[in-house]
Amino acid sequence: MFNKLIKIVGLQSEEERRAELRRNLIRHEAQIGGELFGPVPAGTVREFFCLDQYTWIWYEEWTDDGGTRQKRTTRYDIRSDDIVKTTDGEHYQNVSDKEIDRLIDAVTAYRDRVRKEIYHPVVAS
């Protein structure tokens, strides 16, 4: 409660405000990215976002048929000569040409939607 009050009266440092804004923007971008692949079913978390200029994250959390909560994180690292990925921190593997094409399509759609919905919203008249 005290932290909320501090935020309201603006006593956060400039650095804290920037960090919070960045986290909120990434969360919003991740939500938009998760919707690129169709509707997100109730009880499922799906996120796709750009962590930095060389790193893309796909995260999904769901309940399986047995009622157990599952989660998977795939990290794509863009290198100068290839793209590699790791799922749930396991070994890195090269990404196939077909998967690179799908990743490029996803990144392009992500960029377009994020620009439109967050950074260049249309002002209604």
Cβ proximity of 84 and 92 under 8 Å:
yes
Whole-Å CA distances, 8 to 1, 26, 28, 29: 11, 22, 21, 25
Token representation of residue 117: 């919905």
* Domain chopping of the chain, boundaries: 2-119
Q: Can you tell me which residue has the tokens 């990144």? A: 107
Q: What is the DSSP letter of 12?
A: S
Least confident of 19-33, 60-74, 110-124: 110-124
Q: What is the mean pLDDT of residues 36-63?
A: 93
Query: What per-residue confidence (pLDDT) applies to 5?
Result: 47
Looking at residue 7, what is its pLDDT?
58
Q: What is the pLDDT of residues 103-112, one digit of tens each?
A: 999 999 999 9
Looking at the predicted structure, is the pLDDT value of residue 11 above 60? no
d(CA 102, CA 37): 11
Predicted local distance difference test score (pLDDT) of residue 75: 97
Tokens of 35: 């919707």
| Contact in structure between 56 and 50 (CB atoms under 8 Å) | yes
Query: Which of 2-6, 12-16, 17-21, 80-84 has the largest mean confidence?
Result: 80-84
Q: Does the pLDDT value for residue 3 go beyond 80?
A: no
Query: How much of the chain exceeds pLDDT 90, in percent?
Result: 65
Q: To the nearest whole percent, how much of the chain has pLDDT over 70?
A: 86
